[in-house]
Amino acid sequence: MNLTEEAIEVVAERFRVLSEPIRLQILQALRDGELTVTELTREIEISQPNASKHLRILQDAGMLRRDQRGNSVYYSIADESIFELCELVCGSLEARFREKAEIFAAV
C-alpha cells in the first residue's frame, strides 16, 4: 500500500492520539460499556478536568461517542477497531518479550 503524504499524516495523528497512557486507560475502561465522566474519573483515578481534556481528544478523533442525558454525559466507544489495533500491538509485544525471556532462560 502506497500512502500519500496526507494519508501518512492522518495515520500518524491516529497514533499520536493513542500514544497517551491515560487515553488508553479511558478506552480500556469503556470497553465493557458506557460510563459518565464521574465514573471514569473514579475508575482510572484522574481529575475531572484531566479526564475531560482526554475525552475531547478521543471524541475529536472519532474514537468515542458522547451522549448527553439530562445532567449526565455518557461516553462510549465509537470505533471498535481500536481494540483490534491494541490486541495486535499487545500480541506483538508478548511474542517479543517471550523471545527475550527464552534467551535469558538458556543462560
pLDDT tens-digit series, residues 36-64: 999 999 999 999 999 999 999 999 999 99
> What pLDDT is stored for residue 106 in this prediction?
67
C-alpha cell at 30: 469503556
Query: Structural domains in the chain?
Result: 5-79 (1.10.10.10)
> What pLDDT is stored for residue 64 in this prediction?
97
The full 3-state SS of 8-19, as one line of letters, equals HHHHHHHHHHHC
> What pLDDT is stored for residue 107 in this prediction?
62
Q: What is the pTM of this model?
A: 0.83
